[in-house]
Structure formats: structure tokens, C-alpha cells
Amino acid sequence: MSSVADFISRNAMWAGVILGAVTFVESLVVIGAFVPATGLLVVAGTMIAAGILDPWNVILGCVIGAVLGDAVSFAIGRRLGTKVLRHKWLRPHRRKVAWTRLYCARYGVASIFIGRFFGPLRAFVPTMVGVLGMRRRTFQMANVTSAFLWVLAMVIPGWLVGKGLNHLAEGHGKTVVISAAVALVVAVLVIQRLLKARAAKRNRLLRGAVTGD
């Protein structure tokens, strides 16, 4: 993470393109589950606050990348239909796919907005609503709007942290800001893993209680 952030800071003119490519890949079905764009957007927010990156360059690049990634995933779902659900790449994710199908069928357009912020389902929602036959115009309106809201929601916390750090950074601003941002992202990821592990343990205990094991 720190090496990527440092590379972006040294190539500020291309930050929008680089981060846009990351958000594009993160929005693709299956592949997106393994790309941590969220952490990079938080780091980008701190670098915007420090004056290292241009905010419009970053926001525009990330929104375009997220929109295009979801559009590709949606097109795959529309074109292949239920066949895509039987693809070998999705076999290891059967449980997530099943949950996503129920979730999208129940919440419709709202699932696109909520899915942007819900990591486990984010990489599957656009394809699933395509499989379920959502109208292209309806999807694209939700796609663009949710992408813009998601990018702002990821960048603004980093920007707020960066503003606070600027008072402490002084002569070593770039190094301090990047290091602190990376530490913040790592802390958030560790907390998320701990919460997921606790939730998984609780679910196992509940299943055992129900089955009598």
C-alpha cells in the first residue's frame, strides 16, 4: 500500500488515471473482490489535503473508473444471464452469489447504492442486477450517482485527516501525510478483519445451537 501511495504522489499528474484504473478493476465481477481501492482512496484524500494531488483529477478519474467497471459487469450479466452464475470463476463464491441474488431481487435499484459500500457484495451486485434484467437506463443512472457518492465518501475522511496532519507535518509534509494515511488504512482493515472473524464465529455458534451440534 505504501509503495503504491508513494508512486501516486511522485506521479501526481497521472493520479486520476492510476486511481481510475484501480476503481475500474475493483468494480469488475469476481476480480474486484481482491482489489483494495478503498484504502487507496482514503490515502488519496490525505494527499489532496496536503496539496500533493489535485482533487478534481482524483475524483473525476475514480468516478469514471467505478462507473465503467460496474457497466462492464452489468453488461456481462445482461448478455450471459443465469449462465454467468454457473461459471467456474464463481464456484468458490457460491454463498456470496446466493446472498447477492436475494439482496438484489429484494432491494432493486437501492442494492446498487448499498452495494457500493458493502465490500463482500460490491463485486457481484452489478452483474446480478444485469442477470435479473434491470433496465439499462435505470442501472446507469444509479451507477453514476452511486459512484460519485462512493468516491466522495472514501476521499473526504482522508482529506479531513490530512488537514489535521498538515499542522504537524511542516517541512516533512509529504512523508508524514503518506505514512499516517497508510497507518490509518491498515488500522481500518485490521478492525474490519476482526469484526468479520467475530461475526463468522457468532454465526457458527448459532448454527451449532440450531442443529444441536
Report residue 36: phi and psi, to 5°.
Answer: -85, 70
Q: Where are the alpha helices (DSSP H) in 118-135?
A: 119-122, 125-131
What whole-number distance in Å separates Cα of residue 170 and Cα of residue 154? 25
127 CB contacts (<8 Å, ≥6 apart)? 29, 73, 74, 76, 77, 84
Mean local confidence (pLDDT), 73-92: 81
Tens-digit pLDDT profile for residues 2-19: 566 666 767 677 888 888
Tens-digit pLDDT profile for residues 118-141: 766 777 899 999 999 899 999 999
What whole-number distance in Å separates Cα of residue 76 and Cα of residue 15? 28
Question: What CA dihedral angle connects 79, 85, 87 and 93, to 10 degrees?
Answer: 140
Q: What is the pTM assigned to this prediction?
A: 0.72
What whole-number distance in Å separates Cα of residue 140 and Cα of residue 138? 6
Tens-digit pLDDT profile for residues 21-78: 988 988 887 676 666 677 788 888 888 887 888 889 999 999 999 999 999 999 998 8
Look at residue 35 and give its three-state secondary structure: coil
Longest Cα–Cα distance in the chain: 63
For residue 186, which amino acid is it?
V
Cβ of 209: how many Cβ atoms within 10 Å?
A: 9
Model confidence band, residue 210 (pLDDT cutoffs 50, 70, 90): very low
Q: What is the per-residue pLDDT for 206? A: 44
Cell of 182: 497508510
DSSP character at residue 212: T
